[in-house]
Amino acid sequence: MKLNWRLPSRNKHSNLAVKLAVSILLVGLAFRLLFSRSEELTPNVANAVAEKSEATKPTESDEVSPQFDSTGAEDENASADECDLFSGDWIPHRSSPVYTNQSCSFIETHQNCMGNGRPDKGYLYWRWKPRNCELPPFSGRRFLKFMRNKAWALIGDSISRNHVQSLLCMLSTVEQPIHVYHDKEYKSRRWHFPSYNFNISVIWTPFLVKAAIFEDYNGVSTSEVKLHLDKLDTNWTSLYPNLDYMIISTGKWFLKTSIYYENGRAVGCHNCNKEDIPEVGFEFAYRKTLHNVMNFIAKSKHKGLIFFRTSTPDHFENGEWHNGGTCRRTAPVKEGEIELKDVNRVLRDIELNEYKKASAIAANNGVDLKLLDFTNLLLTRPDGHPGPYREFYPFSKDKNAKVQNDCLHWCLPGPIDTWNDLIMEIAVNAS
């Protein structure tokens, strides 16, 4: 603590003034010593309740990266209004996840890292700590009570599906939902929590606009994607008016080879190598798509809460999905240790620009549009992907086997569970 002294001007009472100043100085020094001592005690006293579940070592076998501060000390002078939930650090946390692959039946095989034999478990023992405030852990019971008689939807691609599975796993610790709907390929689905009359859906629409897609389970395409940039996908727009809460996102699918259409006419493409169609790049399509999506939302006069989520980073190293890229890290990294890839930065810049333009229009129309900026939060979690453990015990027959790695989606349980902590905090406070 720094004390700012201001001495009185010299006059005929200077001797008295000097004595007074010395007295004040001695009192100040004593106070400073006392305050300094109390600061040393703060982590053990003031944070005893708030941080009681943290540890410097998650398990006996999995070492914690030493650069993370396990105290989670916060700025006590920061108000709730100054809190940036998306700016923080991953800190050690000794408590086990609230669910496992055995207790939750909603985890798809290729996100079931524990069930598929991933040998390390340290990636499970971290929690997100905003730097200037406290983030309460997700409470399934509190969430369901708050969402009574409401309808949620997560709208987008396989990351949205990854997220809805995480949310269902956490909510199922309170009540098991009933599966009430699925499309032909089980990509769009809906569940119902009868005790709370609460519905939650995942709506499969990887481009958010009308698209013809030709690819298999492993993402191998037999033809270019055909995207109609001026036609929003009715899979989500038809349900939009009846939703109380939704999280809308897209991203990586725009990197695929595609031909772009407007008014039924091809206007450009990305990597299509066709002489009669100009190469305009994925940025062209992404910007136009998000512009149209955001305009639709901002001008809709919808009275629910709408989140737009930024695209998530992948952590392929020494290659990409299609040419042998891997992700072998087993602990979080420091902020700045991993740079956002150029292509991810382009996607993010377009997202932030289009959101900024639309949010002003939305505010004028009474539309509650909020940004979920999870990009940097997950950038420092290269340890949270399935990697080769998207398959069941991939090295059981050959320890040197070459297998497909998944460094895009997230293990369940895993870092993506933290999204639910933040979303509940924002949704509850926004009401």
3-state secondary structure of 353: helix
The CA distance from 330 to 414, in Å, is 12
- Residues 361-379 pLDDT 10s: 999 999 999 999 999 899 9
Q: For residue 28, which phi and psi values (nearest 5 degrees)?
A: -65, -40
Residue type at position 105? S
Tell me, what DSSP letter sits at residue 322?
G
- Cite the beta strand spans of 256-410 per DSSP E: 258-262, 265-270, 305-309, 368-372
Beta partners for residue 27, in sequence order:
none
Q: Please give the CATH superfamily to which domain 140-430 belongs.
A: SGNH hydrolase (3.40.50.1110)
- Token pair for 377: 């939060």
Catalytic residues: 158, 406, 409
128 with 90: CB under 8 angstroms?
yes
Nearest to 377 by CA among 342, 346, 406, 348: 348
- Token pair for 12: 């005929």
The CA distance from 141 to 193, in Å, is 12
Nearest to 154 by CA among 201, 119, 215: 201
**Tally of residues, the chain:** 431
Q: How far is CA 122 from CA 98, 287, 400, in A?
A: 15, 39, 23
- Token pair for 313: 């980073």
pLDDT of the chain, 431 residues: tens digit per residue: 333 323 333 343 444 443 444 444 444 444 443 333 333 323 332 222 223 233 333 333 333 333 333 333 334 344 445 689 999 999 999 999 999 999 999 999 999 999 999 999 999 999 999 998 899 999 999 999 999 999 999 999 999 999 999 999 999 999 999 999 999 999 999 999 999 999 999 999 999 999 999 876 666 667 899 999 999 999 999 999 999 999 999 999 999 999 999 999 999 999 999 989 999 999 999 999 999 999 999 999 999 999 999 999 999 999 888 888 999 999 999 988 999 999 999 999 999 999 999 999 999 999 999 999 999 899 999 999 999 999 999 999 998 898 999 999 999 999 999 999 999 999 988 76
Q: Over the range 383-401, which residues count as b (16 or more CB within 10 Å of their CB) and which as e? A: bbbbbbbbbeebeeeeeee
- Token pair for 192: 């119902």
The CA distance from 204 to 104, in Å, is 22
Q: Where are the domains of the chain?
A: 140-430
> Degrees (nearest 5) of the Cα angle 266, 223, 275?
45
The CA distance from 271 to 342, in Å, is 17
